[in-house]
Amino acid sequence: MSAYDDVQKAVEFLKLFAPAPPKVAVVLGSGLGAFADSLGGNKVPTCDIPGWPASTVEGHAGTLALSPKGVVALAGRVHLYEGYTADQVVFPIRVLIALGARTVILTNASGGLDPRFQAGELVLISDHLNLTGANPLRGPNDARFGVRFPDMTEAYDHELRTTAQRAAEKAGLGPLREGVYAQLGGPSYETPAEVRMVKQLGADLVGMSTALETIAAVHMGARVLAISCVSNLAAGIATHKLTHDEVLEAGKQAAPRFARLLAGVIDEL
User: Measured in Å, how far apart are the chain's first and last C-alpha atoms?
Assistant: 36
Catalytic site includes residue 158 = no
Catalytic site includes residue 209 = yes
Catalytic residue chosen out of the listed positions 67, 110, 209, 231: 209
Catalytic site includes residue 219 = no
Catalytic site includes residue 232 = yes
Burial of 189 (0-12, 13-18, 19+ CB in 10 A): buried
Catalytic residue chosen out of the listed positions 121, 232, 254, 255: 232
| CA 124 from centroid of its chain's CA atoms | 12
Q: How far apart are CA 63 and CA 48, in angstroms?
A: 10
Q: Which amino acid is at 193?
A: A
Catalytic residue chosen out of the listed positions 60, 86, 213, 220: 60
The DSSP symbol for 136 reads: T
Catalytic residue chosen out of the listed positions 75, 109, 220, 254: 109
Q: How far apart are CA 68 and CA 243, in angstroms?
A: 37
Catalytic residue chosen out of the listed positions 18, 25, 30, 217: 30
Catalytic site includes residue 82 = yes
Q: How far apart are CA 243 and CA 232, in angstroms?
A: 9
Reduced to 3 states (helix: H, G, I; strand: E, B; else coil), residue 131 is: coil
Catalytic residue chosen out of the listed positions 4, 34, 81, 197: 81
Catalytic site includes residue 109 = yes
Catalytic site includes residue 67 = no
Catalytic residue chosen out of the listed positions 119, 135, 141, 244: 244
Catalytic residue chosen out of the listed positions 18, 73, 79, 84: 79
Catalytic site includes residue 108 = no
Which residues are known catalytic residues? 30, 60, 79, 81-82, 109, 208-209, 232, 244
